[in-house]
Structure 1
Amino acid sequence: MYIPKHFKIEDEEEIYEFIEKYSFATLYSTHKGEPYATQLPLILKKDEKALYGHFARANGQWKDIKDQTVLVVFQGPHSYVSPSWYEISDAVPTWNYVAVHLYGKVDMIEDDKVILDSLNEMVTKYEKPDSPYNLRNVDSRYIEGLSKGIVAFKMNITKIEAKAKLSQNHPVERQELIIENLERSTDQNDFRVATLMKKNLY
C-alpha cells in the first residue's frame, strides 16, 4: 500500500484496536491463476499475531491458498472531501479514509475443538452483551453437521501496513473546516471520519 509518511500509523496497539473494531475484512489470494477475494469476519489473536476465520467449503479459494502470501484488507470509515470547504479556490477534491493491510500465510485448522472455540469467540464478539443466544447451547449434532460445510483457517501475520489519510498534509485551519463540514453531514461515515480527524488533530 502506498503510504506517505504523514499518513502512516505506526502504533501497533492502535492498529490492533482498528482491526478489532472493523473486523469484517476482504481476504485476497490467487485462485486458479487469477486474483480472488472473499469478504468475511476475522478474529484477531494479538498474542499469536494471527487471524482466525473460515471459508464456506464450497468456496474454492481455500483449496490452493496454503503456500501463498495472502493479503487481508480492513476498511474503516471513509469520506469525500470537497474543495468547496477550503478557504481557497485553487484546490481539488480528495478522499479521507483509514485502512489496514495485513499480509501472511494461511494454515488450515482441522482440530474440532480449535474450530469450535473460534466459532464461539466469533459469535460472542458480534452478539449484543444482553443477547440470550449462545452457540454452546445449540445442539452439538446440529453444529457438527454445519461445521462440515466450512473450512477453518489461521493466518499468521508477517507484515502490517496501516494508513490514516485524514488531511494531515493540510494546515490546521483547513482541517478544522473539513471537520466542521463533515459533522454537518447525516452520513455516519462522514461523522466517523470527522471524529478520527479530531482525535488525530487534538
Structure 2
Amino acid sequence: MRQNPSFAFTDTAELRRVIAEHPWVTLVSHTDDGLVASHYAVLLDEDRDDLTIVGHVGRPDDMIHGLGERELLVVVQGPHGYISPGWYGDVASVPTWNFVSIHLAGVPEILTPEENLDVLERLVERFESSMPTPRPMWEAPNDPDFVRKLERGTVGFRLTPTRVVAKRKLSQNKSDEVVDTVIAELEAGGSPYADHRLAGEMRRAHDALRSAREGRA
C-alpha cells in the first residue's frame, strides 16, 4: 500500500478501534503455489493492548496458508466510498475514493485447542450479543461434543504484527470548508453514495487535525 505522509495512520488506539469495528478481514499468504487469500473474522487479543489479533481458519486453510510457518498478511478494510468532484465546488477536480485500511503482517502463533475454544467462544459472544435472543456457543441445543467437534475442524492463531502499514485517506488535503461539504454529502439521505460510517471517520480525522492546528496556534 503506497504511503503518503498526509494520510499516515499510526495512533494505536485508533487502529485498535478500526480493527474492533471491522473484524471481517482478508488473510493473504505467499506460498509455493503462489498467492492465496481467505476471509475470516478476527478479534483483538483481550490480554494485550497492542495490535495483536486472534482468530481461526477452517481446515484445510491452515495447510493452504502454511499457517504458523510463513508470514501472513491480514488486511483490515474500514469504511470506504466514492467522493464526487462535484462536492469540491466549481474548481478543476477529479473523483477519488476515501478509505481506511490497515495491513498487519507477521508469522502467526498456532493456538492450543483450549485457546482456540476460548477464541471461538469470544467470536460467538461478540456477534450474538447484539441479537434479541443471544445463542451462546456452549448452550443447548449445542452440547460439549458438538462444540469440541467444531473446534477440531478449525485452527486458531494469534498474530502479533511485526509490520504495520495503515492509511487513512479522508480528504486531509482539502480545506475545512470542502471537508464539511463532503461529510454533509455522505450523510445526505438522497445521495447514492451516502455512507454515515465513512462520514464519521472523516469527522474523527478532521477533528484531530483541527485540534492539532489549534494546539500549535
Q: How far does residue 65 in structure 1 lie from its aligned partner after superposition?
A: 3.3
- Kindly report which structure 2 residues correspond to 1:64-103, keeping only aligned pairs within 5 A, or say none: 64-103=66-105
Higher relative contact order at CA 8 Å, sep ≥6: structure 1 or structure 2? 1
Deviations 1:62-106 (A, max 9, x none): 552333221101101111111111123311110001111111112
- Structure 1 runs (4+) greater than 3 angstroms displaced: 60-63, 129-132, 185-189
Moved more, 179-188 or 78-87: 179-188
Q: How far does residue 189 in structure 1 lie from its aligned partner after superposition?
A: 6.3
Deviations 1:5-54 (A, max 9, x none): 12111210110111011011001002333111111001111617422111
The root-mean-square deviation of aligned C-alpha atoms, in Å, is: 2.1
- Kindly report which structure 2 residues correspond to 1:130-149, keeping only aligned pairs within 5 A, or say none: 131-137=133-139, 138-149=142-153
Q: Is 1:158 matched with 2:162?
A: yes
Matched with 1:16 is 16
The answer (yes or no) to whether the contact 2:36–2:64 under 8 Å persists in 1 is no
- Change in Cα spacing, 1:48 to 1:164, as seen in structure 2 (3 Å) is closer
- Kindly report which structure 2 residues correspond to 1:22-33, keeping only aligned pairs within 5 A, or say none: 22-33=22-33
> Between Structure 1 and Structure 2, how many residues are aligned?
201
Deviations 1:130-155 (A, max 9, x none): 53411122311111222221122222
Q: Is 1:199 matched with 2:204?
A: yes
Q: Is 1:35 matched with 2:35?
A: yes
Matched with 2:188 is 184
Where structure 1 has 5 or more consecutive residues not aligned to the other structure, the ranges are none
Q: What is the TM-score when the length of structure 1 is the normalising length?
A: 0.90
Looking at structure 1, the residues matched to 4 and 23 of structure 2 have their Cα atoms a distance apart, in angstroms, of 24
Looking at structure 1, the residues matched to 194 and 68 of structure 2 have their Cα atoms a distance apart, in angstroms, of 35
Looking at structure 2, the residues matched to 52 and 32 of structure 1 have their Cα atoms a distance apart, in angstroms, of 25
The answer (yes or no) to whether the contact 1:36–1:61 under 8 Å persists in 2 is no
Where structure 2 has 5 or more consecutive residues not aligned to the other structure, the ranges are 208-217
